[in-house]
Amino acid sequence: MYVAKFVYADYSVTLMVEKKKVVALLSGGLDSTLAVKTMQKQGFEVSAVAIKTPFCDFDCGRGCGFEIREKADNLGVDLKTVYLGDEYVEMLKHPKHGFGSGMNPCIDCRAMMFEAGKKHMEEIGAEFIISGEVLGQRPMSQFAPALKKIEKLSGLEGKIVRPLSAALLPPTDPEKNGLIKRKDLGMIRGRSRKEQLRMAKEFGIEDPPNAGGGCLLTDPAFSLRAKDLFKHIETPTINDIDLLKIGRHFRLDKNAKLVVGRNKDENEMIKALALQNDILLEAKEHVGPTTLLRGNNIDNHVELSASVTLRYSDAPKNKTGVVLVHKNEDATEISVKSAEETAYIKLRI
């Protein structure tokens, strides 16, 4: 709500006028921040939706590791967080519009995010949705045909405004209806950040954030792990996916894989993610990794896994050492020699 005062010749009237509402997809990066600021400057009440997926998380540490709620508070907007879990994994098995350079289904992914924004828009009676997308910034999802396709897939044709580039795009319903004017919309194109940094300074944004919404599926190394997982498991669980984010991964056969921790934190995470029937291994007398064996017939791979575990510990190379083997409630010990690199490196994903 805001106060509007109308002054006439011999009297004045003060009315409480309700602001028009819009919903913003908020990644927390600079572009989505500027989109929110632009709409607020034009008098709209902005409500934000932040999307989490198993692969794209604003707390994932990939250039966007900040508290999204703190960002929303600083912008003065309400925040709704939406988690796309199992339905996202199901989409990833067969995305209708394919993958990008990695295993990133950008068009289908953005459509799912806008669908979540659409639900919130309908819940609060908002007029349209905004995002920080910039024309031509990302190769798969931010060119004009892809933007149009995403609108259609999400059921939001004419209802998505991209304030940073909207003056370069066809008029949307809010523009046709007079809610926004083209002269107030941006003309940013491409991957340069120069204009965004200028706008940040204009809006008084100190220490502008990096681009938000870091997606692990665009990372070449992670994509290889994800492709391997989906190749060997029809429907991976969230636990399977969380395990992809840590350690060194080795495909032992079509049914079994080995994950080797790289530091103390990853060792603890591997222990936390271990499921019933997984096997955990650790060098008994030396500092080193926690390793995890998962899959069918994994008992057949214990000796190799133990030797790899010893290899990545600080145990002397080419000497026999003791490795602790934990499966469910049972704990045993096995004596093995540290593995030669040639015995396992070809198995690494």
Average pLDDT over residues 45-51: 96
pLDDT for 281 equals: 98
* Residue 58 pLDDT: 53
Question: Span 2-216: which CATH code?
Answer: 3.40.50.620
If 0-12 CB within 10 Å is exposed, 13-18 middle and 19+ buried, where does residue 231 land?
A: exposed
pLDDT computed for residue 207 by the predictor: 83
Residue 61 has pLDDT above 50, yes or no: no
Cα first-last separation, the chain:
56
Average pLDDT, integer, range 28-38: 94
Q: Does the structure show a pLDDT above 50 at 60?
A: no
Residues 281, 276: Cα–Cα separation, whole Å: 14
Confidence of residue 14 (pLDDT cuts 50, 70, 90): low
Query: What is the distance between the alpha carbons of residues 75 and 146, in angstroms, rounded to a whole number?
Result: 29
Residue 188 banded pLDDT, cuts 50, 70, 90: very high
Give me 276's structure tokens: 């019933």
Each residue's pLDDT tens digit, 229-272? 999 999 999 999 999 999 999 999 999 999 999 999 999 999 99
Task: Give φ, ψ of 83 to 5 degrees.
Answer: -105, 125
Confidence at residue 109, expressed as pLDDT on a 0 to 100 scale: 96
User: Residue with structure tokens 């921040």?
Assistant: 33
Pick the range with the lowest mean pLDDT from 88-97, 180-189, 202-211, 249-258.
202-211
Rounded to an integer, the average pLDDT of 48-68 is: 69
Residue range(s) in the chain whose domain bears CATH number 3.40.50.620: 2-216
User: Is the confidence at residue 62, as pLDDT, over 50?
Assistant: no
- The pLDDT of residue 18: 79
